[in-house]
Chain A
């Protein structure tokens, strides 16, 4: 589904990603772990199409086609979803209106009519139940005054509504208490299928107890330096990132 080949990217004159290779197939969950400043968030931003980042080499191929020339919204239309580490507040736009607009703009891009209002309402009801979101929450301004947990739940709610093929969860566990973590992970797990894939970007192993990955990759200084199964996450937790760094210099 997603193939990243020797990706080099940076911002202004600073190189951040220095040759990333990653292959994600449908039905898989990949975790990308790494210390602060290793390039985790840059990687997610570049995949989602943030224009501030310059791609200096390599390619990002999604379902057989390069995405580098596509705008962020076009990538979203193809089924790429990025859950933000820090979701943006948009005063004056309700959660419901926002998601309605997002869904209908995506449908428009695919040449489809707007989703009938009754279908939309039904879907909103189902997905908000899945994330244990109550109705009042949906009429509030998007992310405005939301707690950390509410923001992340709202991200996964949007993911549930948009039904992406590839979901990238950027530090979704940060700012979550244990209950919120359970609800959010439960939501993500219920959305997993053989047709979609999830990339979880995280600093800590904690989230991976709830969203169990098939593969774990360690990102250090803009490169994936180690890959393995889910047990790699535990090993990292135990030994710390210095262990990988030490192994590298050895």
Chain B
């Protein structure tokens, strides 16, 4: 049975085992119909031309964990940011772990989507925001149909969450193959602020397929900074579908650090629904072996006087492959837009490849849109220059790669996170050099 058939046939049983009210069930029923019609995307879809899900959808996945998934904190400590105080929302094989988590309802809500979807006191927010930002395309619809757990973050007007929030998904490998569909809803009301760090981490070499959806709402003057660490094991695949609704004068940044995993696809969609909005999309991809990372971004400028900044860097070794597909749409009404996009890549091996495609659809006449894409190799002259100063080949390459990725790291606002990412890069490049960014 194909994964699609398995999902469709298990939908009813899934629904029977939940306690959602009718408004949520209606949303889910509609969503499963969308997925039934559209199915998993194939390479025939223009948006999936360079990314095939065939190998990802092949295994016979368990759709829910069955076993006992207790984990000791010391065994997973390395996957958390520990040197600063944070809220934590932790899931093990898709199931909430209260033991590893630290949530709050003090002024702001940092808790579980399952509570938010079922408890009356959250109904007002859920009615307004849940599944309202997300586009109804097949993978997001699939998630909507099955979603019951994830992070729920609600920051009321003029509140700032006083410490970063870590959302960590751990998978144990107790199931031979596991499919997860976490769902996050993050609402920052007018003038609110929040910082989120998200990570998916497999603890075994068993196959994990995560189809995640995150909806972010940023009210007037709100600020949201979202950091994604994608450094998973060789049999873990992730499709991240993020949908962001921005209101007037808000700023939302998403940094995506893709350092590992079998296949990673980031569908990052921004909708600017007010004036004077700033949207920031940044990514660093460093992969090897046969890993594949695909960034598919959309910035939809729907109102005048806004900005968007996209900066994606990629370093590809061995037979790894990358895709960057950046779409910018400027509506006719959206004058005085500044939209910048750049995608720079280094191919370390001659078997690695990257497909980079900017797409601009501009219907306004007074706009500034720029896009640039480069694909190159490491500069051999620079390497020789460094060697004559005593910096060996390996370290020299690392230094060049650090320098290449540097400006994306510069905008990370949490110093401890920046240090962690720097260490991850050093680890990836297999060097230990006395170089600070």
Do residues A105 and B404 form an inter-chain contact, with CB atoms below 8 A? no
**Residue from the list A50, A105, A109 in contact with B433, Cβ < 8 A:** A105
A204 within 8 A of B: no
- Scan A93-119; emit 1 where CB is below 8 A from any B CB, else 0: 100011111111110010000100000
A33 within 8 A of B: no
* B435 CB contacts on chain A under 8 angstroms: 97, 100-101
B389 within 8 A of A: yes
Do residues B385 and A105 form an inter-chain contact, with CB atoms below 8 A? no
Complex formed: what's the CA distance from A76 to B395 in Å? 14
A64 within 8 A of B: no
Do residues A82 and B388 form an inter-chain contact, with CB atoms below 8 A? yes
Complex formed: what's the CA distance from A77 to B395 in Å? 14
B75 within 8 A of A: no
* A100 CB contacts on chain B under 8 angstroms: 434-435
B436 within 8 A of A: yes
Q: How many residues of A contact B (CB 8 A)?
A: 35
- Scan B387-415; emit 1 where CB is below 8 A from any A CB, else 0: 11111110100011011101100000000
A75 nearest CB neighbor, chain B only: B388
Do residues B403 and A73 form an inter-chain contact, with CB atoms below 8 A? no
**Residue from the list B391, B400, B407 in contact with A102, Cβ < 8 A:** B391
Complex formed: what's the CA distance from A89 to B433 in Å? 20
A250 within 8 A of B: no
* B382 CB contacts on chain A under 8 angstroms: 88-90
Do residues B389 and A97 form an inter-chain contact, with CB atoms below 8 A? no
| Shortest beta-carbon distance from B399 to chain A in Å | 6
Do residues B390 and A87 form an inter-chain contact, with CB atoms below 8 A? no
Do residues A105 and B403 form an inter-chain contact, with CB atoms below 8 A? no
| Shortest beta-carbon distance from B376 to chain A in Å | 12
| Shortest beta-carbon distance from B202 to chain A in Å | 32
A91 within 8 A of B: yes
**Residue from the list B381, B387, B402, B403 in contact with A76, Cβ < 8 A:** B387
* A82 CB contacts on chain B under 8 angstroms: 388
Decide yes or no: A71 and B388 within 8 Å by CB, A90-B382, A92-B402 being known contacts. Answer: no
Complex formed: what's the CA distance from A71 to B391 in Å? 11
Do residues B379 and A105 form an inter-chain contact, with CB atoms below 8 A? no
B433 nearest CB neighbor, chain A only: A101
Do residues B393 and A93 form an inter-chain contact, with CB atoms below 8 A? no
Decide yes or no: A102 and B406 within 8 Å by CB, A88-B379, A114-B434 being known contacts. Answer: no
Decide yes or no: A102 and B404 within 8 Å by CB, A50-B384, A88-B381 being known contacts. Answer: no
Decide yes or no: A101 and B434 within 8 Å by CB, A73-B390, A81-B388, A84-B385 being known contacts. Answer: yes
| Shortest beta-carbon distance from B35 to chain A in Å | 44
* A101 CB contacts on chain B under 8 angstroms: 391, 395, 399, 433-435
* A84 CB contacts on chain B under 8 angstroms: 385, 388
* A71 CB contacts on chain B under 8 angstroms: 387, 392-393
* A50 CB contacts on chain B under 8 angstroms: 384
Complex formed: what's the CA distance from A81 to B403 in Å? 24
A83 nearest CB neighbor, chain B only: B388
Decide yes or no: A76 and B399 within 8 Å by CB, A88-B379, A92-B404, A92-B407 being known contacts. Answer: no
A72 within 8 A of B: yes
A8 within 8 A of B: no
Complex formed: what's the CA distance from A101 to B394 in Å? 13
A76 nearest CB neighbor, chain B only: B390
A48 within 8 A of B: yes
| Shortest beta-carbon distance from B408 to chain A in Å | 11
* A105 CB contacts on chain B under 8 angstroms: 390-392, 395, 433
Do residues A87 and B387 form an inter-chain contact, with CB atoms below 8 A? no
Do residues B387 and A49 form an inter-chain contact, with CB atoms below 8 A? yes
* B387 CB contacts on chain A under 8 angstroms: 49, 71-73, 76
| Shortest beta-carbon distance from B342 to chain A in Å | 14
| Shortest beta-carbon distance from B208 to chain A in Å | 35
Complex formed: what's the CA distance from A73 to B392 in Å? 5
* A88 CB contacts on chain B under 8 angstroms: 379, 381-382, 384-385
| Shortest beta-carbon distance from B60 to chain A in Å | 46
A128 within 8 A of B: no
A172 within 8 A of B: no
Do residues A97 and B436 form an inter-chain contact, with CB atoms below 8 A? yes
**Residue from the list B393, B400, B436 in contact with A90, Cβ < 8 A:** B400
Do residues B393 and A73 form an inter-chain contact, with CB atoms below 8 A? yes
Q: Which of B389, B399, B433 has the most CB of A within 10 A?
A: B389
Complex formed: what's the CA distance from A93 to B436 in Å? 10
* A91 CB contacts on chain B under 8 angstroms: 403
- Scan A56-71; emit 1 where CB is below 8 A from any B CB, else 0: 0000000000000001
* B433 CB contacts on chain A under 8 angstroms: 101, 104-105
Quick one: which of A97-149 are within 8 Å of B by CB? 97-106, 109, 114, 141
Complex formed: what's the CA distance from A82 to B384 in Å? 11
| Shortest beta-carbon distance from B311 to chain A in Å | 13
* A72 CB contacts on chain B under 8 angstroms: 384, 387-388
Complex formed: what's the CA distance from A162 to B390 in Å? 9
A196 within 8 A of B: no
Do residues A102 and B390 form an inter-chain contact, with CB atoms below 8 A? yes
A42 within 8 A of B: no
A158 within 8 A of B: yes
* B400 CB contacts on chain A under 8 angstroms: 90, 93
Complex formed: what's the CA distance from A109 to B406 in Å? 26
Q: Which of B381, B388, B434 has the most CB of A within 10 A?
A: B388
Q: Which of A73, A75, A109 has the most CB of B within 10 A?
A: A73
| 20 residue pairs from A and B, CB less than 8 Å apart | A71-B392, A71-B393, A72-B387, A75-B388, A76-B389, A88-B382, A90-B379, A90-B382, A90-B386, A90-B400, A92-B402, A92-B404, A98-B399, A100-B435, A101-B395, A101-B399, A101-B433, A101-B434, A102-B386, A105-B433
**Other than the known A90-B400, A105-B395, what 5 A-B pairs have Cβ atoms closer than 8 Å?**
A71-B392, A73-B390, A90-B386, A99-B389, A105-B392
